[in-house]
Amino acid sequence: MIKNIAIIGLGTMGPGMAARLARGGIKVAAYDLAPVALERAKTMLAGADGVLDSLGIVAPETGAGSVRLTDDIADAVAGADLVIENVPENVAVKADVYRKIDRLIASDTIVASDTSGIPITQLQAHISNPRRMVGMHWSNPPHIIPMIEVIGGEKTAPETVQTIRELIRSLGLLPVVVKKDVPGFVENRVLYALLREVVDLVERGVIEPEDVDTCVSWGIGYKLAVVGPMALLDMAGLDIYNSVSSFLNSDLSDRKDVAPMIGRKIAQGALGIKSGGGIYSYTPERIAELQRERARKLVAIRRILEGSD
């Protein structure tokens, strides 16, 4: 049974992951090298705890779960049953983390990566016991969205996948086992197919960004929150899908590079919320407002989907 978990790298996901694991009665040690990340995590943990309170998610026993922040990686992984790597999406950076923790953990300690899409097989090459390595891809914000992808690499033992799957279920969350270790796994492959198409439509002048957001949020997004895409095929009718696909598929964006519009924005330093502007412009006040608003709406939608009042 997994009772102690170390999270290596806080970033934007780590605090939410830590808060949700603690609510499951788990003792979490969260590590980051950067003092600013550790300081920011305190505020993020408090915010995540508030959201979890609003969802009515409580630890199985009072005080059973906890989160401890540390800047000592050896301290973080000491006694851990599971280590979750959550550092930037760079194989070299992740490999360096694996080398550091390899000598600090027990041979049966599971190492999971929260990578958004680097194949687990590729990451396994940098750890001494690849049978105990698995993908555990949370969706942002991790303390609100209950779905977690579980991905085994070529050398991952089936029991490792099963252990992580059972852990996720024990937390009251939804494990999705990806049967083949493909880049991007499933969630991001579907998401990036959509993003490629909407960026192409905006770049070609077919629609404005605000209108495509309305179209997706109140059109397909509204439906997909209730009816999954495979179930939607049945709802629409496979004959209808076949008919529309026969002419539409050939006109959809299939570019293999990234749209020039994105490159131009990056060159201008317009990276999105983190830089105060990307597709849209943001003030610090607007960013804070958006974070509160999106969390509130995601909580409300989740309560409805779960059948809560």
> Which residues, at least 6 apart from 22, have a Cβ–Cβ distance to it below 8 Å?
28, 59, 65, 66, 67
Binned at pLDDT 50, 70 and 90, residue 57 comes out as very high
Please state, in angstroms and rounded to a whole number, the distance separating the CA atoms of residues 137 and 159.
Answer: 18
Would you list the domain boundaries of the chain? 4-178, 187-305
pLDDT band at 10 (very low <50, low <70, confident <90, very high): very high
- Other CB atoms within 10 A of residue 66 CB: 14
Residue 267: what are its φ and ψ, rounded to 5°?
-60, -30
> CATH homologous superfamily of domain 4-178?
NAD(P)-binding Rossmann-like Domain (3.40.50.720)
pLDDT tier at 63, thresholds 50, 70, 90: low
CB 108 within 8 A of CB 1: no
Encoded tokens for 233: 């095929």
If 0-12 CB within 10 Å is exposed, 13-18 middle and 19+ buried, where does residue 75 land? middle
pTM over 0.75: yes
Given CA atoms 249, 250, 251, 254 in this order, what sign does their dihedral have?
A: positive
For residue 309, pLDDT over 90 is answered with no
Question: Please, which residues have CB within 8 angstroms of residue 36's CB and are 6 or more apart in sequence?
Answer: none
Query: What Cα–Cα distance (Å) separates residue 80 from each residue in 14, 48, 123, 128, 178?
Result: 16, 23, 20, 17, 25
Q: What is the pLDDT of residue 308?
A: 61
Per-residue pLDDT at 59: 82
The band of 1, judged by pLDDT with boundaries at 50, 70 and 90, is confident
* Burial class (CB within 10 angstroms; exposed 0-12, middle 13-18, buried 19+) of 279: middle
**Coil, helix or strand at residue 140:** coil
d(C-alpha 105, C-alpha 195), whole Å: 39
Calculate Rg over the CA atoms of the chain. Answer: 21
pLDDT at 102: 95
- Does position 285 have pLDDT exceeding 60, yes or no? yes
Could you tell me the CA-to-CA distances from 150 to 119, 219, 221, 299 in Å, in that order?
12, 29, 24, 23
Average of per-residue pLDDT across 160-181:
97
Could you give phi then psi for residue 171, rounded to 5 degrees? -85, 0
Give the model's confidence band at 28: pLDDT under 50 very low, under 70 low, under 90 confident, else very high: very high
238 sits in which H/E element: helix 238-248
* 187-305: CATH, from 2.130.10.30, 2.60.40.10, 3.30.70.270, 1.10.1040.10: 1.10.1040.10
For residue 248, pLDDT over 70 is answered with yes
How much is the pLDDT for 100?
96
Averaged confidence pLDDT in the chain: 96
In our burial notation (b when 16+ CB lie closer than 10 A, e otherwise), range 166-194 reads ebbeebebebeebeebeebbbbbeeeeee
Region 17-37: mean pLDDT is 97
Residue among 141, 192, 149 nearest 18 (CA): 141
H runs (alpha helix) in 55-134: 73-77, 91-102, 120-124
Cα separation, 196 vs 204, in Å, equals: 12
pLDDT band at 307 (very low <50, low <70, confident <90, very high): confident
Residue 64, pLDDT score: 80
CA gap 166, 32 in Å, rounded:
27
CB atoms within 10 A of CB 277: 16
